[in-house]
């Protein structure tokens, strides 16, 4: 099955870019980043910013933009059956050179999981101007860590924003 990524969620004042690999089946069906209700990404973001959780997608996007966070995927296109990153084939990366020129305030790039970081390093070659941080995947397929331990690692988002 051919999969295409979504447009980024971003404002020009973003200081952090969070990257996933490629939207999964449920996200593509809903046309929403992290649309699977068992994915913890949005729960983490609301917890980090001490906001009441909302299922409303516009509210979710506004939370990121208000906190100067951009969200995108490393890959623009791939062939994949199902939602597992291990099933990705024939991938093509998004245009980060243009995106980062349009978002000059970004200082840190965070990866939602090892696979996103690996694809980024494979296809995107940046100077050392960015802090690159790999975080545990928020996917329900990542059962190697508890919700709480993953959330603790994701708290770095708040720390980075304080330093920017």
145-161 tens-digit pLDDT:
889 999 999 999 998 98
Upper half-sphere CA count for residue 4 (Cβ side, 13 Å): 3
Q: What's the pLDDT score for residue 126?
A: 80
Sheet architecture: strand order including 16-20:
69-73, 16-20, 108-112, 131-135
Tokens describing residue 161: 């924003």
User: Residue 17's pLDDT band (boundaries 50, 70, 90)?
Assistant: very high
User: Residue 139's pLDDT band (boundaries 50, 70, 90)?
Assistant: confident
Structurally, what CATH architecture does the domain formed by 2-163 represent? 3-Layer(aba) Sandwich (3.40)
Tokens describing residue 127: 């100077």
Are 106 and 70 in contact by the 8 Å Cβ rule? The answer is yes
User: Residue 106's pLDDT band (boundaries 50, 70, 90)?
Assistant: very high
pLDDT at 88 over 80: no
With tokens 């409303």, the residue in question is 56
Query: Mean pLDDT lowest for which of 34-48, 104-118, 129-143?
Result: 129-143
User: Average of pLDDT values for 101-107?
Assistant: 95
pLDDT tens digits, 28-84 = 889 999 998 999 999 999 999 999 999 999 999 999 999 999 999 999 988 777 666
**List 11, 12, 39, 142, catalytic entry:** 39
| pTM: predicted TM-score of the whole model, two decimal places | 0.93
| 39 is known as an active-site residue | yes
Neighbours of 86 (CB within 10 A): 8
pLDDT at 5 over 80: yes
Residues 6+ apart with CB under 8 A from 108: 15, 16, 17, 130, 131, 132, 133, 160, 164
Q: What's the pLDDT score for residue 22?
A: 87
Give the Cα separation of 148 and 162 in Å (integer): 22
Residues 6+ apart with CB under 8 A from 106: 14, 15, 16, 17, 70, 100, 130
Percent of the chain having pLDDT more than 90?
Answer: 70
């Amino acid at each position: 099955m051919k999969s295409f990524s979504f447009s980024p969620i971003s404002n020009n004042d973003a200081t952090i870019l969070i990257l996933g690999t490629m939207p999964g089946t449920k996200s593509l069906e809903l046309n929403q980043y992290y649309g699977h209700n068992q994915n913890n990404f949005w729960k983490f973001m609301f917890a980090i910013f001490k906001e009441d959780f909302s299922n409303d997608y516009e509210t979710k996007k506004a939370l990121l933009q208000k906190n100067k966070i951009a969200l995108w995927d490393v890959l623009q296109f791939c062939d994949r059956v199902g939602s597992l990153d291990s099933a990705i084939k024939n991938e093509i990366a998004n245009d980060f050179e243009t995106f980062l020129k349009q978002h000059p305030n970004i200082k840190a790039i965070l990866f939602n999981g090892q696979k996103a970081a690996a694809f980024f390093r494979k296809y995107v070659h940046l100077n050392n101007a960015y802090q690159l941080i790999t975080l545990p995947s928020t996917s329900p397929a990542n059962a190697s860590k508890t919700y709480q331990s993953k959330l603790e690692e994701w708290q770095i988002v708040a720390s980075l924003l304080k330093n920017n």
